[in-house]
Structure 1
Amino acid sequence: MEADTLAAAQNIDFSLFALFLRASFTVKLVMLILIAASFWSWAIIIQKHFDLRRAKTEARDFDQAFWSGEPLDAVFDRIGPEPRGGAARVFAAGMTEWRRSHRKDGGLIHGTQARIERAMNVAIGRESDMLTKGLTYLATVGSISPFVGLFGTVWGIKGAFEEIAMQQSTNLAVVAPGIAEALLATGLGLLAAIPAVVFYNKLSQDCDQVIGGYESFSDEFALILSRQLDRTAA
C-alpha cells in the first residue's frame, strides 16, 4: 500500500506552473496579484535607479558650474528659468524670485530674503515628490505581500483538508498537491516582499542624500544672496 502511494505521488507534476494550474480560483487570484505586484515593484526599482543616478549626475554638473566663479546672473541666463536637474531648478526658483523682488528704481521689495528661501523650499518639495514617487508602493508591497501570500496558503490548506474529507484518505498522493499549492502562495508573497523592502530602504536613503544636497545648496545660495542684500541695504 505504501509503495502504491509513493508511486502515485511520484507521478504528480510538482512544477510551479502545474501547481498554479491545480490551485483553486482564489489561490490563483492571490498568486496573480503577487506576481503582478512583484513585476511592478521591479519596474519602479529600475526606474528609480536611473532617476537617482541622473539626479546625482545633474547635481554634480550644476555644482561645478555654480562654483566656477561665473556671475550668478550669467549662470541663470545660461540655464534659463526651467533647467534640467533638481539643483538647477532650485537655483532657478531662487534667482527668479530674486529678480522679481527688484523695483524699477533698483531697490528691493521688503521681505526678499524670506520669499527667496520660500521659493527654493517649494522647489525642493517638488523635487522631493518627484524623487520619492513610487517608494510608497514599494513599502506597501513589502509590508502586505507576506500576509496576502499567507492568505493564499490558508485558503489552499483549507481546500486540501476538504479534498482529504472528500477522498476519505490522508495518503501522500492526496495531501501533497494541496499543501504544495498552498505553500507556493507564501513563497510568491516573500518573493514580492523581500526585494521591495530591501530596495525601499536603499532608494529611500539615496533620495534623502540627494534631497539633502539640494537643501545644503539652498542654504549656501541663501547665504550668498543674504550678503548681497546686506550690501544693497548698506
Structure 2
Amino acid sequence: MEVQEAINQFSFVELFLKADIIVKIVMIGLGLTSVLSWAVTIDKFFQLKKLEKGARFVEQALGDARSDAIIEDAARSGDATARIMAIGLQEARIAKKGGNLSDGLISLTIERMQRIMQAQTGRELARADKGLGILATIGSAATFVGLFGTVWGIMNSFRSIAASHDTNLAVVAPGIAEALFATAMGLFAAIPAVVFYNWLTGGIDRYAGRVETLCDEIIARASRRLTDGGQ
C-alpha cells in the first residue's frame, strides 16, 4: 500500500500539481509548444500533399495534346504547380501573337519565361515554407526551456535540504522529480519538432526539384513551338 502511495505521488499529474509555479509555467509552455508543433506539421503535411498532387497532375497533363488548356484550367482552380507553368505558357503565347519571331526574339522570350517562372516558383515555395520556422524554433529552444525547468527544480531540492537540514531522499526527491519531468517535457516538444522540420523541408526540396524539371520541359516545348512556328 505504501509503495502504491509513493507511485501515485510521483505520477505526472501529481508532479505537475505539486511543482513550483515557475516549473508549472515551463511545463505548460512546453505542452502548448508541443501542440503547436503538431498543428503546424499536420497543416504543412496536407499542403505538401497538395503540392505533390499538383506536380503529378502537370506531369501527366504534359503528355496530353491539350496540355496548355488543361494546365491553365488547373491554374485558375488554384493549383500552385499549374500556376507556375501557366505563367510561362502565357508569356510564350503573348510572344507568338506578334507573328514569326527572329532568333533574337525567341531567345529573349525564353529568357523572360525562365525569369517569371522562377519568380513564381519562389513565391509558391515561400508559401510552402511558411510556418516551418516555428518548428525550427521549437526544436532548438524547447530543450533549453526544459533545462531551465530542470535547474529550477534542482534549486528547489537544495532549498529543501537547506531548510530541513536533512538529505533524506524523501526531502530531495520531489524537486528532482520536477526537474526530470521538465527535462522530459522539453525533449517531448523538441524531438518531434526537429524530426517534422527535417521531413517537411526534405519534401519541399524534392517538390522544388520536380517543379524545376517541369519548368525546363515547358520551356523546351515553348522553344520548339516558337522556332517551328507551331501553335
Q: 2:65: which partner in 1?
A: 69
Tell me the distance in 1 between the aligned counterparts of 2:7 and 2:81.
63
Secondary structure of 1:127 counterpart: helix
| Matched residue, 1:3 | none
Please list the CA deviations of residues 116-158 of structure 1 after superposition, one character each: whole Å capped at 9, or x if unmatched.
1111111111111122222222122112211110111001111
Following superposition, the deviation at residue 80 of structure 1 comes to: 6.6
Q: Which runs of 5+ in 1 are unaligned?
A: 1-5
Within 1, Cα distance between the matches of 2:158 and 2:207? 53
- Equivalent residues of 1:90, 1:120 under 8 A apart: yes
Question: Is 1:106–2:102 an aligned residue pair?
Answer: no
On the 8 A contact 1:91/1:120 being kept in 2, the answer is: yes
Q: How many Å separate the matches in 1 of 2:116 and 2:62?
A: 19
TM-score of the superposed pair, with normalisation by structure 2: 0.87
Q: Shift in Å at residue 189 of structure 1?
A: 0.5
- Contact kept? 1:155, 1:182, Cα under 8 Å: yes
Contact 1:38 1:191 in 2 (8 A): yes
Deviation at 1:221, TM superposition (A): 0.7
State the 1:64 CA deviation: 1.4
Answer yes or no: is the 8 Å Cα contact 1:164–1:175 preserved in 2: yes
1:88 pairs with 2:88: no
Query: If the length of structure 1 is used for normalisation, what is the TM-score?
Result: 0.86
What is the root-mean-square deviation in Å for CA atoms of aligned residues?
2.4
Tell me if the contact between 2:84 and 2:120 (Cα under 8 Å) persists in the aligned partners.
Answer: yes
After superposition, where does 1:15-54 map in structure 2 within 5 Å?
15-54=11-50
Q: How many residues align?
A: 224
Superposed counterparts of 1:1-234, under 5 Å? 10=6, 13-70=9-66, 72=68, 74-75=69-70, 79=73, 82-102=76-96, 105-106=98-99, 110=105, 111-232=108-229
2-side partners of 1:170 and 1:137: how far apart? 42
Q: Which runs of 5+ in 2 are unaligned?
A: none
CA–CA separation in structure 2 for the residues paired with 1:135 and 1:194 = 15
Aligned residues of 1:149 and 1:187 also touching (Cα < 8 A): yes
Counterpart of 1:99 in structure 2: which amino acid? Answer: R
- Deviation at 1:229? 2.7
Q: Are 2:147 and 2:186, in contact at CA under 8 Å, matched by a contact in 1? A: yes
Taking every aligned residue pair, what percent have the same amino acid on both sides?
Answer: 44
